[in-house]
Amino acid sequence: MNRDMKFQLSGWILFIVCAVLFLISSIQSGDLLLFFGSLVFLIACIFFIIPLIKN
C-alpha cells in the first residue's frame, strides 16, 4: 500500500469514528433524524473504504 492510499484510508477511518460518535450522540439525545443521517453517513464511509482495503 502506497503512502497516498494510507492517507486516504486514515481519513476514511476518522470519518467512520466521527459517524459512530454522531450515532452515539443521537441515541443519547433521542434524535431520530440525526440517528438515520449518521447511519447513512457511516454506511457511505464503509462503501468508500472497501476499494481501499481490497487493494
Q: Tell me which DSSP letter residue 23 carries.
A: H
List the domain range (segments joined by +) for residue 39. Answer: 13-25+34-55
C-alpha grid cell, residue 14 = 476518522
Question: Does a structural domain hold residue 8?
Answer: no
Q: Say what the pLDDT of residue 54 is.
A: 86
Instruction: Tell me, yes or no, whether 49 lies in a domain.
Output: yes
Among residues 55, 39, 50, the alpha carbon closest in space to that of 12 is found at 50
Overall number of domains in the chain: 1
> Which residues of the chain are under the pLDDT cut of 50?
none
Please report the pLDDT score of residue 1 as a whole number: 76
pLDDT for the residue 21 = 97
Q: pTM to 2 decimals?
A: 0.86
Q: Does 53 reside within a domain?
A: yes
